Structure 1
Amino acid sequence: MTEIKLLIIDDDEGFCRILKRRLEQHDIDVAVAHSASQALSAGDEFDVVLLDMMLGNDNGLSLIEPITRHIQPKHLIVLTGYASIATTVEAMKRGATDYLTKPVGTSELLSRIRGEEVDTDVSETQRLSPSQIEWEHIQRALHDNDGNISKTARDLGMHRRTLQRKLAKRSPH
């Protein structure tokens, strides 16, 4: 089996240390970058890139295109603390090949890294809860309004502070 070269781009140093240790036990050569500049100077010989959606002051989505242009990985997997349909679609449009929500199990992550088929029957049959549907609707409206909270609140027919509270309550931080 050929060794896979993987780059983790995540600002959480503890998470990176643990993930690196877990993946190296499975014959994966792991490098780590904690910022966009570190990622773009890490070299260009990676088979897979794991990109965190929230990278300090940078948005992982804005890094997808420069990373795919510079590194040209076979797989670019976006990791996030809380996924939404809007950000998943946007990540795929920009060039991501996969999208995973933290925490992710080692076996599932290894399957995705290796490009193996993943059984999605279980997740496809699960229904969204009302709060998940609301979150998805808010995320879509935010995306359509380029992140403008005031305009999004007006479009959703709610007070700006109410929207801010809902976003803070479900925030990945």
Structure 2
Amino acid sequence: MNDQPLAEIGPDRSLLLVDDDEAFVKRLAKAMEKRGFLPETAESVAAGKEIARIRPPAYAVVDLRLEDGSGLDVVEALRESRPDCRVVVLTGYGAIATAVAAVKIGAIDYLSKPADANDVTNALLARGETLPPPPENPMSADRVRWEHIQRVYEQCDRNVSETARRLNMHRRTLQRILAKRSPK
């Protein structure tokens, strides 16, 4: 999909990205800047709420689970500071209950991680009752599963036994999965 033209973004191109995954938020910021946004990043609930209070953006992308709390707190702070802010919630842990909670407090869309910059841009710029178009090249279910396992593995400091316990999986099964290449 092509980059979105500036005319669709509007005169205020400010964008707040809140995610505790430093590498992800830097990549997303760079990609969103190429699409015409003016991104500012935060890696915690506290930093996100502070930016929302001082410099409320026109757009925001907020991770649901952050090290110091819930991204929903940032969404609420954004709604208080700037009711017209278009907020998209990202999460690696998709669940209907959290999607409903995010939309109830003012998010315009809810995307599962890892979402690419085109998906995020489409969600931020979608207007009215129409849904953004589905991703052109969505990940396979196997790839989503593999990404989730890798994320939990990294969060457990690459401890196979702890990762297997948290995923409710046999340690040997997890070792076999980790030894394979990522699915397409």
Say yes or no: TM over 0.5.
Answer: yes
Give 1:6's aligned amino acid.
L
Distance 1:10 1:71, change over 3 A: farther
Alignment counterpart, residue 25 of structure 2, candidates 9, 13, 16: 16
Counterpart Cα distance in 1 of 2:165 and 2:38: 37
Give 1:61's aligned amino acid.
L
Query: Mapping of 1:121-136 within 5 angstroms?
Result: none
Partner in structure 2 of residue 168 of structure 1: 166
Distance 1:84 1:37, change over 3 A: same
Q: How much has 1:114 moved relative to structure 2?
A: 1.6
SS class of match (1:100) = strand
Partner in structure 2 of residue 92 of structure 1: 103
Distance 1:167 1:54, change over 3 A: farther
SS class of match (2:20) = coil
Partner in structure 2 of residue 157 of structure 1: none
| Percentage of identical aligned residues | 27
C-alpha contact 1:40 1:70 (8 A) present in aligned 2: no
Size of the alignment, in residue pairs? 128
- How far does the alpha carbon of each residue in 1:11-60 deviate from its partner, in whole angstroms, 9 at most, with x for none? 11111111011111111100001122212222334111111011112012
Q: After the TM superposition, which segments of 4 or more aligned residues of structure 1 sit over 6 Å from their partners? A: none
Alignment counterpart, residue 79 of structure 1, candidates 78, 81, 90: 90
Distance 1:108 1:167, change over 3 A: farther
Q: How much has 1:73 moved relative to structure 2?
A: 4.3
TM-score (norm 2): 0.61
C-alpha contact 1:36 1:58 (8 A) present in aligned 2: yes
Counterpart Cα distance in 1 of 2:19 and 2:84: 17
Structure 1: runs of 5+ lacking an equivalent: 123-164
Distance 1:106 1:69, change over 3 A: same
C-alpha contact 1:46 1:73 (8 A) present in aligned 2: no
Q: CA RMSD in A?
A: 2.7
Distance 1:95 1:17, change over 3 A: same
Partner in structure 2 of residue 66 of structure 1: 77
Alignment counterpart, residue 55 of structure 1, candidates 66, 69, 74: 66
Partner in structure 1 of residue 47 of structure 2: 38
C-alpha contact 1:51 1:60 (8 A) present in aligned 2: yes
C-alpha contact 1:9 1:35 (8 A) present in aligned 2: yes
Q: How much has 1:68 moved relative to structure 2?
A: 1.3
C-alpha contact 1:61 1:91 (8 A) present in aligned 2: yes
Residues 103-112 or 49-58, more deviating: 103-112
Give 2:55's aligned amino acid.
D
Counterpart Cα distance in 1 of 2:76 and 2:56: 16
Counterpart Cα distance in 2 of 1:62 and 1:45: 14
Give 2:133's aligned amino acid.
D
Distance 1:65 1:115, change over 3 A: same
